[in-house]
Structure 1
Amino acid sequence: MLPISLIILGGILLISGIVLLVKSKSIKNESLTQAIAAVKADGILTPKEEKLILEIAKIEGKDGNATIAKIRRDLEESEEDSETELIDVNQKAGLDFEKFVVQKFDKKYFKIRNWAGDKFVDGRYADTTTQPDIQLSLILRGQSYPLAVECKWRSEPNGNFIRFAKDGQLERYKAFAQQENYPVFIALGIGGKPSSPAELYILPIQELKKPILHKAGLGKYRKKIDSDFFFDQESNNLR
């Protein structure tokens, strides 16, 4: 009876040894560098991946906890970089559309007095950041006629409504127009690219009650894409 028990026990130990050997070889076959690269590619460190990295680091004689800590730092920095890239993309789109709008003003007749940069940090920003993007003057027969334009580009919107400003922006632009005593307009580009929108509209601030419009209400403000802007200084109308 005893020999049979020993044989069974030996078989169990042999199988266990084979399993451990296979597992060990499997872990060794994947280097620590490969495991870290896989985690960074996913952008997420799962508990299973963390356990695997600790095991591989132990086999390679490295500090597993330090490795895990570094991976977490790298993932956090990567997330911050992604957010920065998104901000950069949005800023580029805004700037591209502003350039498109500026080129619609014939430099023979219009002078740019201020072109806002919208720079801020930790809630601190210059007073000009809350002002319209572009402040110009029409120079005609020795006289100067000021106006301002806020530039907004939107990709093809879903639904029947288009939001062209954030809450509070419209009120600030109206206050600016009243304080400076000259007209302010919103140049709204829709579709296409910021540098070449499919549609273009000029919205007079004083006619707007909300920062959102139904598509049906945009028609009267539409501007031909291929024509320059004209400012009627007597009626304060930009078209």
Structure 2
Amino acid sequence: MLPISLIILGGILLIAGITMLLKTPKAESLSQVINAVKADGILTPKEEKLIREVAQNEGKNADVTIAQIRKELEESEEESESELIDVNQKAGLDFEKFIVQKFDKKYFAIRNWAGDKFVEGRYADTTTQPDIQLSLKLRGDSFPFAVECKWRSEPKGDFIRFANDEQLERYKAFERQENYPVFIALGIGGKPSSPAELYILPIEELNKPVLHKAGMGKYRKKVDSDFFFDQESNTLR
């Protein structure tokens, strides 16, 4: 009976040992820890400590590894910011195209369509000018004016900000310098290529870069109608 008992006991111990082995978590490799950090998008103090421990166990340089991780995280963040900028630029360009199509090319000529390209603080003079400079061609005469395009998704509250103080002053200065009217085409809601609401704001009537929604009715224009420039009163509608 004793040998049988020993065999049974040995089998039980063997099964228990295998079970414990299976339940024992495997130590994470350095690559697994690094991938987890990248997925999270941030290197916390605890993660840095873990990386140092795992790197030491694997005989690797922890400082070099951490420096590389930080570099890759910074590059990833810059790419995300660039994507956000690209999205904003696309929205602006889509709305500008929407506005341009409101001017019948039979009567209106685009004299300048400004871009917003810059690098290290250097940019073209036209970057600070209104987006689109046009002329009404009528019976051999040309009547210039300019349009700055602004699209806002769904502003919250009772006020709508269409520019900042510096931009508004710049548009006013441009109007004085060029001696022709400047307007802000403001799209609200919908999509940049198809806004839910459309407003034409004469720069000369604006003292602040914000308007109360209750006072915007007189500037509203039908979204599906073309623009008309009255050269005698210098109004765009």
TM-score for both structures, normalised by structure 2: 0.87
The 5 Å alignment of 1:65-84 reads 65-84=63-82
2:109 is aligned to: 111
Cα distance in 2 between the residues matched to 1:150 and 1:26: 66
Task: Indicate the residue corresponding to 2:133 in structure 1.
Answer: 135
> Offset at 1:208?
0.9
2-structure distance, mates of 1:213, 1:123: 31
Which of 62, 65, 73 is the matching residue for 1:64?
62
CA distance in 2, matches of 1:26, 1:48: 22
Deviation, 1:76, is 1.1
Letter in 1 for 2:129: Q
Give the direction of change, closer, same or farther, for the CA distance of 1:101–1:133 in structure 2 (3 Å limit).
same
CA distance in 1, matches of 2:62, 2:209: 54
TM-score relative to the length of structure 1: 0.86
1:202 to 189, 200, 203: 200
Give the Cα separation in 2 of the matches to 1:150 and 1:28.
62
Structure 1 distance, partners of 2:24, 2:87, is 43
What is the identity, as a one-letter code, of the residue corresponding to 1:130?
T
Query: Given residue 153 of structure 1, which amino acid in structure 2 is its aligned partner?
Result: W
CA distance in 2, matches of 1:33, 1:193: 43
Give the secondary structure class of the aligned counterpart of 1:48: helix
2:96 to 98, 106, 115: 98
Contact 1:105 1:229 in 2 (8 A): yes
Task: Give the match for residue 231 of structure 2.
Answer: 233
Cα-Cα RMSD: 1.8
**Structure 2 CA distance for aligned equivalents of residues 82 and 176 of structure 1:** 35
The 1-side partners of 2:130 and 2:44 are apart by 47
Q: How many residues align?
A: 217
Alpha-carbon spacing, 1:27–1:55, altered in 2? closer, same or farther (3 Å) = farther
- CA offsets, 1:15-71, max 9 Å, x none? xxxxxx99xx97854222211111011111112111211222223332222111100
Question: 1:67-116 CA distances to partner (integer Å, 9 max, x unpaired)?
Answer: 11100111111111121111111111111111111111111111111011
After TM superposition, give the deviation of residue 132 of structure 1 in Å. 0.4
Q: Is the partner of 2:198 in helix, strand or coil?
A: strand
Q: Distance in 2 between matches of 1:184 and 1:224?
A: 20
Question: CA 1:208 to 1:68, structure 2 compared with 1: closer, same or farther past 3 Å?
Answer: same
Cα separation, 1, equivalents of 2:236 and 2:190:
23
Match of 2:15 in 1: none
The secondary structure found in structure 2 opposite 1:54 is: helix
Specify every segment of 5 or more residues in structure 1 that has no aligned partner in the other structure, as ranges: 1-20
- 1:51 maps to what in 2? 49
Give the superposition deviation at 1:133: 0.3
Q: 1:159 is paired with a residue of what secondary structure?
A: coil
Q: Could you tell me which amino acid in structure 2 is paired with residue 194 of structure 1?
A: P
Q: Which residue of 2 is the match for residue 9 of structure 1?
A: none
* Distance change in 2, residues 1:124/1:26 (3 Å): farther
Q: Secondary structure at the match of 1:235?
A: coil
Alignment pair present for 1:151 and 2:143: no
